[in-house]
Chain A
């Protein structure tokens, strides 16, 4: 029997700021015990109140002052972009009903009519232009960490009745893909008047409006009655987001019936969830690829044969089966299957220690000693995966490989600061791609001058440059596919796997996990 916490959470949560009367009316719901679903008049009670516990809580409520998935998940209940993606990754219109190119350096959005902010004011083209400018222009409010997401955009202005023109610095073939991930809209007047409050208050156009925000602890949203797309909102009337960094705490809290959806469940915990009545787990391939970077400005990683040898030496299938309990798919290239630019003709390197040994001999680096550096706790099973990879490489008779566990901050600080010469030579890292386009991964890692560049190859650079100025979609995809094939052959990374997201879910809910790791309460219904 799960602990019944209805009285505590629902009864007292909102003491500061919300009337007790409102609090006591919200006793029905999914979390923490069964409601009989009937009121004294015998009518069905349709309230569905859910709690989502993530490994990390939102770092801010400002829709432009952060760039991490857990924060987007909390904010996306209240804030919406012009374009978004459906669960399959296809671009769908949200606050824009149409979008088109006006020229090489200009695109235009036609805005949806009748969209209201939670404040009750109607969304205007000025609000949209302001929100875009607030992201790309340091002079408008904040220095936004989302600038790279809308890179190549110079500014926006209201261009007519319900339209917004966006000026580009170049052709920018991925501008709409980027707008499907970045550029959430907030109200200009509200943001300017509440400059200090945007970090702890929200006024968006989304299906839920902020009811209570306790910094670092929880955020509660309730259904917004004037939502423009009310017909497509599920049964959830109230959603609470919480953070619990310990995975065992999250899982136990789910099993005790205190929360309904928990993120980042370790594979080893899935049987425990499956065995519990009324609980299940959902897993889905995420947009994150895990790999071992080999910095090619130094020995022995300047040798293509040596880099390929490392790929043959690591048993990726075995790691997925044994360490990740099947929650992963082998990667063959930087771009994941299903993303634009993925090359379907390229296969993952097979596990072949003999071939690896021979390639090491050919590279001229037989007898070399290398160190694999890995963060711990950052990615699903990262330390264990790196340990297995290092030991498999170490098993080669002509290479010795040690493992060094690093704090993610230290490692990322050294590796992603734009200075290849101070980077570790060999390290594990993961890369999420919210845009579903190869550009988001290939440009930061393989174009000169980028913070993450660890591999120099003129042919790859040439292909990426062509793709960046190519507006014909098929030709552009061809360039990206060619770059991916070349990268498979050049082997700048040991290609490991596509990470899976694993969620623990209350079976009373009907919800499907998305590959982009987004959790939208409006997609949840009672099962």
Chain B
């Protein structure tokens, strides 16, 4: 099978998965007890008023009519209107997406920058203090809940020492860049970075620990292979052997995990976002769930779902490109 055909097939599968996600997310509303009207009208509102609010929100139509309307709307980029605020769900969801992506990418960068060197050091100095240190770090990183870590970071770094802000991010990366380009003010980037550090560490620690372990075990595996002895026998310096040959081969599975984990981070940033009051999809979703604002819940879940599908498709395609055997499986 040609690579193009493989990608087309994956894309088609992706479309079906997205349709499935949309349908499941839509049906969730009817499977969940509690009505949105409870939150739009005050508790104890007159039953007649509740009925008129439900009618106004379009909640009295039959399920199939609501489903067709919803899917038709989605195809036109319309996710409906928030029950609570009356604003367009798509506008609110997409307004929140950059903050979440920034956080997920920053957490990934934290992980890569720390984890790969740590994993390499750990693998090449086995059973030495550096290895024990890295192993301890990864064990702690994997077992520490990120909401607890977030609160501790805020308490120590922000409240105790006043080094970094706790929350209330005033601007996003795009605005920071606009300030730099249009007003030649680089301070925006500095402010953005200050607000990003703690959430990125809180969210990225688990991930860092995971990649450290993966790198360590991958390197140890690779170091034991025949080609390593062969390159050494050729007289190549140990640094070249380790970093040019062994690390490169170790990185292939790590890149796959990185790609897939990025999707998990986008979906899993919910708690970290709540701790740091981060204006991303996670806090939007939590707020919407609390008040049964279904257009927002559906919109957020669909965007997260599409994100997963897209990232998976890209990782699959890249993998197929790197390892053509996958195409023929």
Interface residues of A (CB under 8 A from B): 1-5, 7-9, 11-13, 15-16, 20, 51, 56, 59-60, 62, 65-68, 138, 142-143, 145, 147-149, 151, 199-200, 214-218, 242-246, 248-249, 252-253, 255-259, 407-414, 416-418, 429, 431, 444-445, 449-452
Contacts and interface: CB of A to CB of B under 8 A. Distances in A.
B132 interface: no
Given A3-B158, A256-B158, A409 B34 contact: yes
A216 B38 contact: no
Contacts of A51: 168
B45 A145 contact: yes
Nearest to B45: A148
9 contacts: A8-B170, A11-B191, A217-B279, A242-B168, A244-B167, A249-B154, A416-B44, A429-B43, A451-B50
Given A7-B191, A13-B170, A246-B277, 7 more contacts: A3-B164, A5-B165, A67-B41, A244-B277, A245-B290, A248-B151, A258-B165
Contact of A410 (B34, B44, B154, B178): B34
Contacts of A243: 277
A5 B277 CA distance: 16
Contact of A245 (B52, B168, B279, B287): B287
B77 interface: no
A8 B194 contact: yes
B199 to A, nearest CB: 11
B164 A445 contact: no
B52 A410 contact: no
What band does the interface of chain B fall in when counting residues whose beta carbon is under 8 Å from A?
35 or more
B59 to A, nearest CB: 12
A282 to B, nearest CB: 20
B62 interface: no
A252 B163 contact: no
A7 to B, nearest CB: 7
Given A215-B95, A417-B47, A418-B47, A65 B86 contact: yes
Given A245-B274, A417-B50, A9 B44 contact: no
A407 B38 CA distance: 13
Given A245-B286, A412-B43, A451-B45, A256 B87 contact: no
Nearest to B33: A410
A1 B84 contact: no
A216 B167 contact: no
A67 B42 contact: yes
Name, among A2, A214, A244, the residue most crowded by chain B CB atoms within 10 Å (CB to CB): A244
Given A215-B92, A253-B168, A409 B38 contact: yes
B275 A246 contact: yes
Contacts of A449: 47
B165 A216 contact: no
A72 B40 CA distance: 14
A249 B33 CA distance: 30
Contacts of A408: 290
Contact of B292 (A4, A16, A246, A409): A409
A149 B44 CA distance: 11
A379 to B, nearest CB: 12
A253 B154 CA distance: 9
Given A67-B41, A451-B45, A451-B46, A252 B191 contact: no
B317 interface: no
Contact of A20 (B49, B165, B166, B183): B183
Contact of B175 (A16, A68, A257, A445): A16
Contacts of A12: 170-171, 175-176, 179, 187-188, 191
A445 B44 contact: yes
A449 B50 CA distance: 13
Contacts of B92: 215-216
Interface in B65-95: 84-87, 92, 95
Given A5-B165, A253-B166, A451-B46, A59 B277 contact: no
B178 A15 contact: yes
B87 A200 contact: yes
A216 B279 contact: yes
A64 B205 CA distance: 45
A60 B85 CA distance: 5
